[in-house]
Amino acid sequence: MNLKYPSMQAELILVTGSNGFIGTKVVETLLAYGFSNLRCFVRPSSQTGRLEEVLRKTPSGKNVQIITGDLLSQDDCARATKDISIVYHLAAGFDKSFAGAFMNSALATRNLVEGFLKYGIPKRFVNVSSFAVYSNLHLKRRGLLDESCSLEDAPQERYDAYGFGKLKQEEVIREYGKNRGLSYVILRPGAVFGPGKRDLSGRVGIDTFGFFMHFGGSNQLPLTFVDNCAEAIVLAGLVPGLDGETFNVVDDDLLTSREFLKAYKKKVKWFFSVWIPYPLAYGLCFLWEKYSQWSKGQLPPAFNVRRCAADWKGNSYTNQKIRQSLGWKPRVSMEQAMTSFMSQFELRVK
């Protein structure tokens, strides 16, 4: 095997969220790079079938430890981080409630970092964040959304518990970087897709009122194929000299929302959809938000102008920074990625 980063092969590496959609691929990529000194963190209730399959497929997978616990427990974090020098932190809260998202994203991260600094041999902490932390409210339509873009300053108004959790998680990381010298890198993937995830991104549209409302139109989607994204995450833990840096992760040759929906309908199933142009979507979200305020929350502000902008305003994206600093490039082309994504639906039909 052609080992990548041979001088680092002995490092003990922790992956949280290791049984998840992206986490499993991160473990697979680390094994492919020759790393087998891995500890995979899962919860007692986690479905571990995909992770176990990945470990079975690779001979060195048998050396990998699986450790069970909950990141909300400081004791479990202490056990998980003992002697660890690189952490890939993918676990996150997808709860609908703000409290739940805060706990499983921010609080869990604080426990993990505390354990890492106390019981580990800290070299690098890779925090996987998300595009959900950005606000494009003041960015022009089609304007470039890159790492310098503003962060959301009112996630409650956006009614986005997940985004709130990710913002708080990033705050925790930056604070530990500043006050305790944590060596960290933050990665913000766009919309990650691939086999294992069947849903259409909400950026394409929503299927709420008995038909599919297609909001995205000609907007570019910030897509990244799961294998490409996982490789970016792995490199962020290995490439020297990146402390405190933040990187967006998007692939090349991004499809528009309309192109993605067309390919999906052709391959998976046809369904009726209505395209809603952005000014109309914005107007509807504005009215919904106002009515929600007027009715004092009788109607939850699920649609509002901040969410409308974040999901459907349409921006352009770049991977220039991550390419230059990490030497990463999407190994799987968009065409191959789409074929692989769609193939999971064929398997179901058989």
Ligand X SMILES: NC(=O)c1ccc[n+]([C@@H]2O[C@H](COP(=O)([O-])OP(=O)(O)OC[C@H]3O[C@@H](n4cnc5c(N)ncnc54)[C@H](OP(=O)(O)O)[C@@H]3O)[C@@H](O)[C@H]2O)c1
Pairing of strands 205-206, 212-214: antiparallel
Decide: helix, strand or coil at residue 149. Answer: coil
By CB under 6 A, tell whether 147 contacts ligand X.
no
| Of 219, 160, 210, 163, residue with least CA distance to 188 | 163
Least separation in angstroms between residue 315's CB and ligand X is 15
Least separation in angstroms between residue 226's CB and ligand X is 8
By CB under 6 A, tell whether 53 contacts ligand X.
no
By CB under 6 A, tell whether 20 contacts ligand X.
yes
Range 104-107, long-range pairs (CB < 8 A, 24+ positions): 104/71, 104/72, 104/165, 105/162, 105/165, 105/166, 105/168, 105/169, 106/165, 106/168, 106/169, 106/171, 106/172, 107/72
Least separation in angstroms between residue 94's CB and ligand X is 6
313 contacts 135 by C-beta, under 8 angstroms: no
By CB under 6 A, tell whether 94 contacts ligand X.
yes
Least separation in angstroms between residue 166's CB and ligand X is 6
Q: How far apart are CA 115 and CA 193, in angstroms?
A: 32
Least separation in angstroms between residue 55's CB and ligand X is 15
Site size for ligand X, by CB under 6 A?
26
Closer residue to ligand X in complex, CB, 194/288: 194
Decide: helix, strand or coil at residue 304. Answer: coil
By CB under 6 A, tell whether 248 contacts ligand X.
no
By CB under 6 A, tell whether 237 contacts ligand X.
no
Closer residue to ligand X in complex, CB, 189/288: 189
Which residues of this chain interact with ligand X, rule CB under 6 A? 16-17, 19-23, 43, 45-46, 70-72, 90-94, 104, 108, 128, 130, 166, 189, 191-192
